[in-house]
Structure 1
Amino acid sequence: MQTLKTLTLLLLTATLATANAQGNTVTVATANDAPTLDPNLTFSGNAFGITNQIYDSLLYRDDDGIKPRLATSWKRVTPTTWRFELRKNVKFHDGTPFNAAAVKFSFERLIDPASKAPGAYVLNIIKTIKIIDTDTIEITTSEPFAPLLAHLTHPVTAIVSPTSARKFGKDFGRNPVGTGPFEFDRWNTGNQIQLNSNKAYWGGKVQIDKLVFRIIPDIATQIVELRTGRVDLITSVPPESLNDLENNPKLAVYKKLGWGSTFLGFNTQSGITKNVKVRRAIAQAIDRDSIVKILRQGLAVKATAPVPPTVYGAGKNLNPRPYNVEAARKLLREAGVKDGTKISLVTYESAENRQLAEAIQFSLSQIGLTTSVQILDYSAYTTAVQKPNHAELFISGWGTVTLDADYALYALFHSREIPVNNNALYRNVKVDKLLLDARRSNNQADRLKLYQSAQEQIDQDLPLLALYYPLSSYAKSTRLQGEVWRYSWINLDLSNATLK
């Protein structure tokens, strides 16, 4: 009998130990694997959602403004020079001290043309980086650049360990080392990425022992895993599942207007969309209210400008472009476009984009246009829309990660960004000047006026039609507490999270 009691006690202890171990692990489901975990050499949200757990940037953006992270204070020394005081006594996961040399190394690595970093434009305004002392650095830009602080909150500007980056070279993305709350442990490609808590994190004790990102492409499977407790958080909520998830007492759903815009872009240099009347006709043929209500089922807000109102410098009182099929048909006739004219549309693979493509295809059929739709994987899509004779229409989205209009408006509409980001191939000398002037101005009131003027002109030229602003959403188990969701899953902060 004593032996049986002892065995039972041992089994119970083992069970509790297993439960406790599992209880200190948070599992997050994502639809796609990260291409790399090197923050400086990627521009993928699939990567940033994970790299933001491993690395820190100098600054970060909260609801009430820009806050210190690895930089503790900053000041403008001249119109083109900023000085940053850095956090002391911080170490990278490999034991390397964090200092001004690490900042210089990371930024120069990002903007070095040899790196071919897709996100280099975030900081390529930098002319020189000067180390004042171990904990002080000066950044000088080639011209006055008002959005610099906002750009330094971007995850592509994360500070990497110079020691490990040099040691692993091109393989650093598989061996990431930063100063963040979690350290890299292992990566089973296409399956999951596991991180462990950083026991020496400068920001304080991390309560979660392990953080696992499971790659589950099918959203329905993600929801099943969330309901059964094998996943603690999913990074987006499909509209058709919203009510069901909200009514589950074991789950909590978060939704909030974020920084994103979903749009229909026009090739302004070739095809029938070269004619602005055609672009305006197509804009009036699309019922954006129905798209928001029926397709997105309330998980979006109808767009009124290229960027949402959460973004500094968002346009106000622009042309609403009301849904009007007859007016659209009239504009097409004025443009000399006949019924049955073919038009091409391209986008990248996602359930949301497929729905949008079908809705737009139907809408255009109502004004006599026959739309051929091509859906590509994301890599093929980005290559396709950088060609001068690409499809007349394209569906895409943009997240204004810095929450400063410059980040979206300059990338999407300045002629210097053709063809990498300005896929509409849009050129307007007036808009170019307005956007440059807004970058250079230190007067915030003047910047707002300049962005308003730029967006009014863009609205007239219509290189893209903003369809809606997606609500940033996630669903989680109620046992997960203390997570912070800043506008998007790429800024998910679990450094102070706990598990019930």
Structure 2
Amino acid sequence: MLKSVFKTTAASALVALAGLAATASPSLADGKMTVAIALDPGSWDPIDTFLVAWGAVGSNIFDGLTYRDENAKLGPGLATSWDVLDDGKRIRFSLREGVTFHDGEPFNADAVKYTFDRLLGDEGAKGPQRANYTSIESVEVIDENTVDFHLTAPDPVLLTKLAGYGAMIVPPKYLEENGDEYFNTHPVGTGPFKFVSYNPKVDLDLEANPDYWGGAPKLSELQYRFIAESATAVAELQAGRVDLMEDLPISMIPVVEGDSKLEVLSTTGPTVYGLRYNTRDGITKDANVRKALTMAVDRATIISSLLGGEASEIASFQSALSFGDDPDLKPLPYDPEGAKKLLEEAGVAPGAEVQIDIRAGNSTMNEVAQAIAAYLQVVGIKATVKPYESSVFLNDIVPQGKTGAMFQQSWGGWTLDYDNTAYLLYHTGEKWNPYGNDTTLDAMLEEQRPMTDVAEREKKLQAIAGYIADQALEMPLYALNSIYGINKRVEGFVPAPDNRIKLNNVSIAE
């Protein structure tokens, strides 16, 4: 059954992609597009980062074996089809022929094996991506255009994972000749655009790959500018020096809508926001205190007033797009009187202090955190908001367990499967779980991974979400829409829910 399902999915998507390639322009158009993103990941090696900002850019330089389009449909990428064999413990991929990397070396089975040996080896151990692919025991070359993935156990999310981030295929010869450090800042892939230059924290310039297997891009140049301040990015959009801005803040929507040259595009997204609790130290060690703090905050009003309705309230750390979301699981109610009672029962005296740690540079999240602090004040909790520079927050404060009582968590949920969120956030020993050590939860997370019965696995994921909600490990806030500001001269752009925008079919009108 699994074999036929995946072959059918691959075949239908392949037909669509083949049609796309056939209709693509055979020669390069003369057009440059500039995209503003807030964060420079600092390395363009696929195994070095988990950031959505990397995916937004990397999807135009690299390809994976599979591909997920802007409608979240999975289909062929560098693999044209696949068979799931041996009860899900082996996957055979048939590879696309005639593809070359940007440096001219051929894409083949050896490149696939090299990519995953590197990801699962010493180099991959230095970065955060390897944890997503540990179900892969080994990659076996069958012939030049065929590989077998041998798995330690069935991984129901692996085919989606192969569409992005750490699974992007890299060139063996180029890496061996130039080394990892050089590759970080001079990436080479098989994607629709080729690397030209990189100025850290300033910009990244790409040019069209005329030999791209999916058809030559309609743009001749693609530039990414790293603009941390959203007001600056919007000003550049208005001035015509930026054509597309990702993650447009809610507060800036009226500015963009008020400019006749621009428009706002919004789509339901997988990215969720919340405040997680330090369950090791202070008053938030107590689950009832955590529930009280959550009940003290009117999340619905935050969504309607601060977010302009561009979000939806969540009961677990996943959006409605996620496999494992339970529509019957309801958020804790806004109940300040109930919160006061729980705090009193827990022996928390009025005036108790908590610190809310957030990432600096996100004006919307800063406003939300300040609103949460005000709500907590009403129930007798004195909250202070402490911003950290993103790299410090993500690489030190959270992973090393140095946070205050509450800390921001935003999660792209790019696999659209709760496993990839829940395992990394709640399983003991994971980087994004600095405080948790729950053997019951660990067992639940491990039990669902090898399940091949889709319905049973969904029930298990929903049970995990319910268990986490009962333990109040976080204050779930909202699933935010993916919001873009765009110049109307851009043609063919389709907003992607996960911000991983492939721009080979976009053009700039004269």
TM-score by length of 1: 0.92
Residue 5 of structure 1 is matched in structure 2 by none
Displacement after TM superposition at 1:47 (Å)? 2.5
8 Å contact from structure 1 (residues 263, 466) kept in 2 = yes
What is the letter of the counterpart of residue 250 of structure 2? P
Classify the secondary structure of the residue corresponding to 2:188.
Answer: coil
8 Å contact from structure 1 (residues 289, 302) kept in 2 = yes
Distance change >3 Å, CA 388–CA 236, structure 1 → 2: closer
Check if 1:124 corresponds to 2:124. no
1:234-383 residue pairs with structure 2 within 5 A? 234-349=245-360, 350-382=362-394, 383=396
**Residue among 226, 231, 238 paired with 1:227:** 238
Check if 1:211 corresponds to 2:219. no
Distance in 1 (CA, whole Å) between partners of 2:134 and 2:75 is 22
8 Å contact from structure 2 (residues 316, 465) kept in 1 = yes
Distance in 2 (CA, whole Å) between partners of 1:71 and 1:23 is 31
Classify the secondary structure of the residue corresponding to 1:41.
Answer: coil
Distance change >3 Å, CA 286–CA 43, structure 1 → 2: same
Displacement after TM superposition at 1:22 (Å)? 11
Residue 428 of structure 1 is matched in structure 2 by 438
Displacement after TM superposition at 1:23 (Å)? 5.9
Residue 399 of structure 1 is matched in structure 2 by 412
Distance in 2 (CA, whole Å) between partners of 1:192 and 1:114 is 26
What is the letter of the counterpart of residue 301 of structure 1? S
Distance change >3 Å, CA 285–CA 390, structure 1 → 2: same
Residue 450 of structure 2 is matched in structure 1 by 440
Classify the secondary structure of the residue corresponding to 1:54.
Answer: coil
Residue 76 of structure 1 is matched in structure 2 by 84
Residue 109 of structure 1 is matched in structure 2 by 118
8 Å contact from structure 1 (residues 36, 42) kept in 2 = yes
Displacement after TM superposition at 1:235 (Å)? 0.8
What is the letter of the counterpart of residue 473 of structure 1? I
**Residue among 33, 40, 46 paired with 1:33:** 40
Classify the secondary structure of the residue corresponding to 1:39.
Answer: coil
Residue 184 of structure 1 is matched in structure 2 by 195
8 Å contact from structure 1 (residues 306, 315) kept in 2 = no
**Residue among 88, 93, 96 paired with 2:97:** 88
Check if 1:411 corresponds to 2:424. yes
Residue 67 of structure 1 is matched in structure 2 by 75
Check if 1:141 corresponds to 2:151. yes
Deviation per CA, 1:74-123: give whole Å up to 9, x if none: 11111311111111100000111001111111112112134412111111
8 Å contact from structure 1 (residues 39, 51) kept in 2 = yes
Can you give the 5+ residue segments of structure 1 that lack an aligned partner in the other structure? 1-20
Deviation per CA, 1:245-275: give whole Å up to 9, x if none: 2343322221111111100100112211110
8 Å contact from structure 2 (residues 63, 163) kept in 1 = no
Residue 176 of structure 2 is matched in structure 1 by 166
Displacement after TM superposition at 1:433 (Å)? 2.1
Distance change >3 Å, CA 134–CA 22, structure 1 → 2: closer
Distance in 2 (CA, whole Å) between partners of 1:300 and 1:433 is 32
Displacement after TM superposition at 1:34 (Å)? 3.3
Displacement after TM superposition at 1:354 (Å)? 1.8
Check if 1:155 corresponds to 2:160. no
Structure 1 window deviating more from structure 2 (71-80 vs 384-393): it is: 384-393
8 Å contact from structure 2 (residues 398, 432) kept in 1 = no
8 Å contact from structure 1 (residues 93, 198) kept in 2 = yes
Classify the secondary structure of the residue corresponding to 1:440.
Answer: coil
Equivalent residue pairs, number:
476
**Residue among 186, 191, 211 paired with 1:200:** 211
Distance in 2 (CA, whole Å) between partners of 1:212 and 1:88 is 29
Classify the secondary structure of the residue corresponding to 1:85.
Answer: strand
Check if 1:384 corresponds to 2:392. no
8 Å contact from structure 1 (residues 485, 493) kept in 2 = no
TM-score by length of 2: 0.90
Residue 51 of structure 1 is matched in structure 2 by 58
8 Å contact from structure 1 (residues 319, 459) kept in 2 = no
8 Å contact from structure 2 (residues 52, 412) kept in 1 = no
Larger Rg: 1
8 Å contact from structure 1 (residues 187, 194) kept in 2 = yes
Distance in 1 (CA, whole Å) between partners of 2:257 and 2:174 is 44
8 Å contact from structure 1 (residues 292, 300) kept in 2 = yes
Distance in 2 (CA, whole Å) between partners of 1:389 and 1:232 is 39
What is the letter of the counterpart of residue 68 of structure 1? P
Residue 499 of structure 1 is matched in structure 2 by 508
Residue 471 of structure 1 is matched in structure 2 by 481
Considering only aligned residues, what root-mean-square deviation do their CA atoms show, in Å?
A: 1.7
8 Å contact from structure 1 (residues 160, 177) kept in 2 = yes
Moved over 4 A (4+): none
8 Å contact from structure 1 (residues 384, 390) kept in 2 = yes
Classify the secondary structure of the residue corresponding to 1:104.
Answer: helix
Distance change >3 Å, CA 352–CA 244, structure 1 → 2: closer
Distance in 2 (CA, whole Å) between partners of 1:452 and 1:51 is 32
Deviation per CA, 1:140-196: give whole Å up to 9, x if none: 111222211122123221111112111221211111110000000011233221100
Distance in 1 (CA, whole Å) between partners of 2:67 and 2:462 is 26
Classify the secondary structure of the residue corresponding to 1:484.
Answer: coil
Distance in 2 (CA, whole Å) between partners of 1:389 and 1:214 is 32
Deviation per CA, 1:368-426: give whole Å up to 9, x if none: 11223321112221312233463211112111111111110111122242xx1124x23
What is the letter of the counterpart of residue 61 of structure 1? R
Distance in 2 (CA, whole Å) between partners of 1:399 and 1:179 is 25
Classify the secondary structure of the residue corresponding to 2:53.
Answer: helix
**Residue among 98, 119, 127 paired with 2:107:** 98
Classify the secondary structure of the residue corresponding to 1:40.
Answer: coil
Distance in 2 (CA, whole Å) between partners of 1:427 and 1:180 is 41
8 Å contact from structure 2 (residues 283, 289) kept in 1 = yes
- Report % sequence identity: 33
8 Å contact from structure 1 (residues 192, 214) kept in 2 = yes
